[in-house]
Amino acid sequence: MTKSLNNTLWTELEATFKHDIPATSKLLDLLQRERKALEERNYDEFQKIIGQKQQLLTILEFHANTRQQLLTAAGYTDEPSTLVAADQQAPLVAKAWRKLADEWRQCQELNEINERIAKRTRLVVGQILDLLRGSNSKNKLYTSKGDATAPSGGRAITSA
């Protein structure tokens, strides 16, 4: 690969990182706000955050695809070897890349925590609804598709 082609690659990669680092920081903030909204069961705030997250994720995905196309066109096939080349030829790009990768890992961890909170909330709400309906969740049956169904015959609390 020629030096000018490499310089163009690093410049273009750096441009995507300059956009993605603040966007990823904002995503981290949104994920923290989402966690708080889930813990406080503030579903109005949660809905607002979901829309903002989707916008950021669309931008981040577009830049990730752009980076992948740039790297593929330049002949790089894997991240570790590309980072070694970036360390040697464009240390600031490598530094930005690592910062972004670290923030993505943090986003993934926060997202997994939020997912567990959301699942737990759905479980609790489901149990409360079962009680109100007079269903016994311990006796649930499963359809051929894996969906849970309660056997009929329970009395709903509203009809008692």
Count the domains in the chain.
Answer: 1
CA distance 47 to 40: 13
With CA atoms as reference, report the closest residue to 34 among 62, 101, 26, 104: 26
Give a yes or no: residue 157 inside a domain: no
Give a yes or no: residue 158 inside a domain: no
pLDDT at res. 26: 96
CA distance 145 to 137: 18
Q: How many residues does the chain have?
A: 160
pLDDT at res. 109: 97
pLDDT digits (tens, 9 = 90+) for 9-20: 999 999 999 999
Give a yes or no: residue 12 inside a domain: yes
pTM of the predicted model as reported, rounded to 2 decimal places: 0.74
Q: Could you tell me the maximum CA-CA distance found in the chain, to the nearest angstrom?
A: 81
Q: Please, what is the angle between helix 79-89 and helix 91-133, to 10°?
A: 140
Domain span at 97 = 3-150
Give a yes or no: residue 142 inside a domain: yes
Give a yes or no: residue 160 inside a domain: no
CATH number of the domain bearing residue 55? 1.20.58.300
pLDDT at residue 146 tops 70: no
**Is 148:141 a contact under the CB 8 Å cutoff?**
yes
pLDDT digits (tens, 9 = 90+) for 25-81: 999 999 999 999 999 989 899 999 999 999 999 999 999 999 999 999 989 988 888
Give a yes or no: residue 159 inside a domain: no
pLDDT digits (tens, 9 = 90+) for 102-128: 999 999 999 999 999 989 888 888 888
| Mean local confidence (pLDDT), 85-106 | 94
CA distance 29 to 45: 14
Give a yes or no: residue 128 inside a domain: yes
